[in-house]
Amino acid sequence: MAGSRSDGQLSEVRFLTVAEVATVMRVSKMTVYRLVHGGELGAVRVGRSFRVPEHSVHEYLRGAFQETA
């Protein structure tokens, strides 16, 4: 991820908790964990928890929407 954004833009990235992602996607937290562990949803490990860049959620949903359309 560091290579895809400059340092100035990196500070503007909004990170979401697994619970917040689950709320946005209207799924369970376990579903979000499965997506992260399966590599379908990008995330960063911080200590023992994960943080998901907001743009990763939007990209995932855009891709999922295009597959069903």
- State pLDDT tens for residues 9-55: 767 889 999 999 999 999 999 999 999 999 999 999 999 999 999 99
DSSP code for 40? S
The answer to whether residue 62 is domain-embedded is yes
What is the total count of domains within the chain? 1
User: pTM, whole model, 2 decimals?
Assistant: 0.78
Contacts of 29 (CB under 8 A, 6+ apart): 18, 19, 22
CA distance readout (Å), 65 to 6, 8, 29, 48, 68: 29, 30, 20, 31, 5
CA distance readout (Å), 38 to 8, 13, 31, 50, 65: 30, 22, 10, 14, 19
- The answer on pLDDT for 2 being more than 70 is no
Domain boundaries, position 36:
12-68
The answer to whether residue 43 is domain-embedded is yes
The answer to whether residue 29 is domain-embedded is yes
